[in-house]
Amino acid sequence: MDADDGGIKKDFSTAILERKKAPNRLLADDGEGAVVPDNSTVALSPAAMEQLGIYIGDLVLLRGKRRRETVCYALPDGSCPEGRVRAGRGVRANLRVKLGDVVTVNRRAVAPPNGTRVQVTPFEDSVDGISGDLFEAYLKPYFRDYLRPLCKGDTFVVRGNMRAVEFKVVATEPADCVLVAADTAIFCNSDEPIKREDEERLDGPGYDDVGGVRKQLAQIRELVELPLRHPKLFQTLGVKPPKGILLYGPPGTGKTLLARAIASESGAHFVVVNGPEIMSKMAGESEANLRKVFEDAERFAPSIIFMDEIDAIAPNRDKTHGEVERRVVSQLLTLMDGLRPRAQVVVIGATNRPNSLDPALRRFGRFDKELDIGVPDEVGRLEILRIHSKDMPLSDDVDLERVGKDTHGFVGADLAALCSEAAFQLIREKMDVIDVEDETIDVDVLNSLRVCNDHLKHAMEV
Ligand code: ADP
């Protein structure tokens, strides 16, 4: 199948180009690349900019699903593939599009008017436990020096002060879309934060939350996301997408995170099956549980079934003496074989010990793709450190590259723990200004917090 992958990819891109009738209908791509789009920018290939008559920094009207529209600045990005528009998660959420969905991009001939008044309200879950002046701490710096476009109904995330706060644009005057200028009055109703409606939740981790696994991410997206999102394409080409993929590597390298990211970015239903847990159930129940998992996955398809520690569910039958194990392995094989090619269900198995799996499971038509999620190298560690410190205010003396060099052998989970330990160390030092008895912490105190080199050093030693 390996040789086919290149073919699938190539055919996919041409198939998409053929389906796309107008040059301004582009497919949403993620935020990575030379330009990192934020809440107010998107990036296009220089060729697309030229074709659509868009100049650097022009405002563009983006239209997504459910008639959702928003306005952003457009920037050229040589690494943006043709036919794509790079938009961060916030912009994609405002447009209600997932990666690969069509976004219509039009240059705005007339800029939106400067706002006289805008009203924003934070989401309750993002300000839980903090108090003080959100305007000074979050909104003022966010809007300073930047004529950001804001459309009524949009949400935007402002990062900083150890927290990312998400706001909703409740009202804008004098139009539904305005530019926030120096004289725009910004009202922030932080006393009555909005409860989040389910559909608005930016569920689960995104691809930008997984670091150091660029190659594996590309492979898994091709193997899982493409077939889940565009089953027709595979049917047309007469290729059967894989039913199962095996991720192997030491604990804490991000196998679960990767599977979750694939599910949330592709909008698939996600079910976790924990190997040891399912096996510890009463005899007979393990098989029934497994059947139920597959039934539900088909019912809520497209679905991803994630089997953590799959070696516990499907050990080599020649080497195991347990009757239960043998039955469960056969059950799993039957269920995988029984998955209809059009069911849009993919099983991702994770294991630390691929060789202890029953070999029948690794044959063609079952878990026939294997990806090595190894211990990250220096570059990977730096990527992961950046991810886990992105909401942390870092002092100028912090050199993440140095930390990346000094953490040989650390896996993703270790680096995540390192960052949170550094933050805890800082908090311990600041206990004199933090009152544990208080319900909330003042944003001025939060504002003064900086994680510095010593905190990270301390964290490396624990
Ligand atoms: P595994 O499934 O391989 O045992 P997990 O995905 O459960 O590992 O990792 C645990 C946590 O460690 C994640 O939730 C994340 O916070 C962090 N982590 C692990 N790997 C990575 C990675 N590659 N990039 C970013 N964070 C990571």
**Of the candidates 196, 187, 172, 180, which has an alpha carbon nearest to the alpha carbon of residue 133?**
187
Our answer on whether the CB atom of 211 is closer than 6 Å to any ligand 1 atom is: yes
Structure tokens given for 381: 């560690």
Residues 6+ apart with CB under 8 A from 461: none
- Per-residue pLDDT of 247-280, as tens digits, reads 999 999 999 999 998 888 777 888 999 888 888 7
β-bridge mates for residue 347, sequence order: 244, 305
Confidence at residue 442, expressed as pLDDT on a 0 to 100 scale:
78
Judge if the beta carbon of residue 253 lies within 6 A of ligand 1: yes
User: Separation of 456 CA from ligand 1 center, angstroms?
Assistant: 19
pLDDT score of 449 more than 80: yes
Q: Is the minimum distance from the CB of 70 to ligand 1 under 6 angstroms?
A: no
Q: Is 210 in the pocket of ligand 1 (CB under 6 A)?
A: yes
- ipTM above 0.95? yes
Segment 30-39, tens digit of pLDDT: 866 667 778 8
Q: Which two tokens stand for residue 129?
A: 């436990």
Residue 197: predicted pLDDT: 62
Report which residue type is found at 144.
Answer: R
Q: Mean pLDDT, the chain, as a whole number?
A: 85
The pTM score is 0.67
Nearest to 185 by CA among 108, 102, 120, 259: 120
Question: Residue 371: which H helix or E strand, with range?
Answer: strand 367-372
Nearest CA, atom 12, ligand 1:
413
Q: Can you tell me the mean pLDDT for 120-143?
A: 86
Q: Tell me: pLDDT of 6 over 80.
A: no
Smallest Cα–Cα separation from 43: which of 100, 98, 91?
91
- Say if residues 191 and 133 touch (Cβ distance below 8 Å): no
Q: Which residues pair with 166 in a beta bridge?
A: 157
| Closest residue to atom 27 of ligand 1, CA basis | 412
Which H helix or E strand runs over 210? none
